[in-house]
Chain A
Amino acid sequence: MAADVALSVPAAEEAPFGDVRSAARPAKPWRPPTDETPVVRRTLIGIALVFLGFVLFLPLVAVFVEALRGGVALYWAAITEPDALAAVQLTLLVAVIAVPVNLVFGVAAAWAIAKYEFRGKSLLTTLIDLPFSVSPVISGLVFVLLFGAQGFFGPWLQSTGVQIIFAVPGLVLATLFVTFPFVARELIPLMQEQGTGDEEAALSLGASGWQAFRLVTLPNVKWALLYGVLLCNARAMGEFGAVSVVSGHIRGLTNTMPLHVEILYNEYAFSAAFAVASLLALLSLVTLAAKSILEWRYAQDIAATRGRGH
């Protein structure tokens, strides 16, 4: 009702009041001196969005458009073809082995580094991060030098009949190498910040070391742990360079999904290559979504633990 009344006031009556008010007001609204002018702000946002559009958004769109260019039937045929299915299976197998192994290692490393003070700790932390700064191709090459036919253990492996390079064990080793730091580096800063007080309290109340870890430490770091596993998994499934060197590209046997994409692309089967690539792109979108949700949750969690006096 009030709104109706306000609207029904004739414009002629309102005008004098409006004039008085605008005369009393400063010509421009007050702007804090630590803000940019609206023009500058809009320009900066505009440039940032255009840059992101070209660099990040267009490539992602291109994957899906190119994948569906040949029609849905062709798309479906490309991803259900036996070689493609074998590639999906192998990718899942490698991730299923590599992720849990690095999860156990990451938790152990974080426990040792975050809960104790010892000499050489910063060196150890640097060494754990090492795989991040090594080229993926080198990560594959080192295993060829160790286990390849001309490698250090090559002759011995041949005599025992075990094949590592150009076989699944090589793929797993290379993936373990490149995904090595993910879980540890998410856990270490958080566990360092949380300190050892909670665990010491648990021990003094009679808990065993394992109980303290399982019932006190683990709930404190669960989101960071999940976050690390997520990133580790994305990298394990998407790794290309390291895996490419050790794989030997045997179709249906040692081709993971990224390698399958490469083979199809080099055979000019572009639609099929983009179809398999679109599955990987979907995986990365799911990873990003899950990661963002975790980050929002995890931020609240950290705020909560800080609020409890950490």
Chain B
Amino acid sequence: MVAAALSGPFRKPSILPGFGLTLGLTLAWLGTIVLIPLAALVLKSAGLGWEAFGTLVTDPRTISALKLSFGAALVAATINLVFGLLLAWVLVRYRFPGRRLIDAFIDLPFALPTAVAGIALTALYAPNGWIGQFLAPLGIKVAYTPLGVVVALVFVSLPFIVRTVEPVLAEIDREVEEAAASLGANRRQTVFGVVLPTLMPALLTGYALALARAVGEYGSVIFIAGNIPYVSEIAPLLIVIRLEEFNYAGATAVAAVMLAISFVMLLVINLIQAWSRRRFGDGR
């Protein structure tokens, strides 16, 4: 497919020079850094054979790690669906002191190295931590449990939904809401019946992006999770453990499953965007 793009007749004529040079550079670099290494992973897992691959993947420890990674990511993305929408709404629609600062601050999880986030969250939620000491008497344990994994994933996936919803919300024509109001809809009906459906593609895209990021997250989780096998051990950590045991086959099998999951998510994101373009015109 990639090679086909290289041959001439595929492109519209243009007087701008440099097509061959830049596309060639792009493909060569993409191939070297991204595609060949990923192909090595696919080759390696294919080399295991179906039976061996099946045994490695259905290992109970692998299954429970994949379940935790996926389950915690779903919970975290859902929490962020609600709060991300709320944040986007508040930041776009309301004016209050410090709004621009807070808007800039939303990107902190993108900028803060995940290891730093991980140890900071652990300092907060450990049983003797800032927040943990108030939760411990109530019998709530956050750090070193699956709940801690969710907390870390909420942190890292927060910006995705806010940042995909914000531009769409800002572009919505207020006249539509005025029309709804003039036809007798109350505010709640207008918001849930008129505004939210328009935001749906952006919400879904943000949800899928947040989910994809959360499933693969490693740095922020390993400190707060406690990493107890079968309880709070995430799939990426299991890959690292298998590698440290020099069990390359085991590491590759878990990685291949996760890679397949992220390909599916990428496909879903593209489908949502194609659907939203058809349904709503040039949405993002």
Contact = CB atoms under 8 A, between A and B. Distances in A.
A84 to B, nearest CB: 14
A173 B115 CA distance: 20
A273 B219 contact: no
A105 interface: yes
A143 to B, nearest CB: 6
Contacts of B34: 127, 130-131, 177, 180
Contacts of A245: 239-240, 243
A176 B18 CA distance: 24
B187 A36 contact: yes
B283 interface: no
B190 A238 contact: no
A216 B130 CA distance: 54
Q: Which of B96, B111, B124, B266 has the most CB of A within 10 A?
A: B111
Nearest to A179: B33
Given A58-B130, A130-B34, A150-B248, A138 B87 contact: no
B46 to A, nearest CB: 12
Contact of A138 (B10, B102, B174, B255): B255
B40 to A, nearest CB: 5
A206 B90 CA distance: 51
Interface stretch (A2-10, A13-21, A43-51, A73-81): A43-51
Interface stretch (A22-30, A60-68, A155-163, A300-308): A60-68
Interface string A99-119: 000001100110111011111
Contacts of B115: 238, 240, 258-259, 261-262, 277, 280
21 contacts: A32-B178, A33-B187, A45-B94, A47-B86, A58-B130, A116-B19, A119-B5, A121-B5, A123-B1, A127-B34, A133-B216, A141-B41, A152-B40, A209-B16, A240-B114, A258-B116, A277-B115, A284-B112, A288-B108, A292-B104, A295-B104
Contacts of B243: 141, 144, 245
A186 interface: no
Given A62-B123, A116-B12, A261 B116 contact: yes
B181 interface: yes
Contact of B262 (A113, A133, A145, A240): A133
Interface in A252-310: 257-259, 261-262, 265, 270, 273-274, 277, 280-281, 284-285, 287-289, 291-292, 295
Contacts of A145: 37, 40-41, 44, 248, 252
Contacts of B75: none
A124 interface: yes
B37 A143 contact: yes
Nearest to A244: B240
Interface of B: 1-2, 4-5, 10-12, 14-19, 21-23, 25-27, 29-30, 33-38, 40-41, 43-44, 83, 86-87, 89-91, 94, 96, 100, 102, 104-117, 119-121, 123-124, 130-131, 154-155, 158, 174, 177-178, 181-182, 187, 190, 212-213, 215-219, 223, 235-237, 239-240, 243, 246, 248, 251-252, 255, 258-259, 262-263, 265-266, 270
A8 to B, nearest CB: 35
A280 B113 contact: yes
A194 B112 CA distance: 32
Contacts of B17: 209
A224 interface: no
A199 B30 contact: no
A250 interface: no
Given A56-B155, A142-B37, A273 B131 contact: no
Contacts of B255: 135, 137-138, 141
Contacts, number: 301
Contacts of B182: 33
Contact of A240 (B40, B94, B219, B258): B219
Given A45-B96, A173-B33, 4 more contacts: A109-B30, A111-B22, A137-B240, A241-B236
B181 A127 contact: no
Contacts of A117: 11-12, 14
A203 B106 CA distance: 43
Q: Which of A118, A132, A134, A141 has the most CB of B within 10 A?
A: A141
A131 B259 CA distance: 11
Q: Which of A130, A135, A209, A270 has the most CB of B within 10 A?
A: A135
Given A109-B22, A116-B14, A274-B119, A58 B108 contact: no
A55 B154 CA distance: 8
A254 to B, nearest CB: 15
A142 B223 contact: no
A261 B119 contact: yes
Nearest to A212: B16
A121 B190 CA distance: 40
Contacts of B123: 62, 66, 270, 274
Given A119-B11, A142-B37, A51 B87 contact: yes
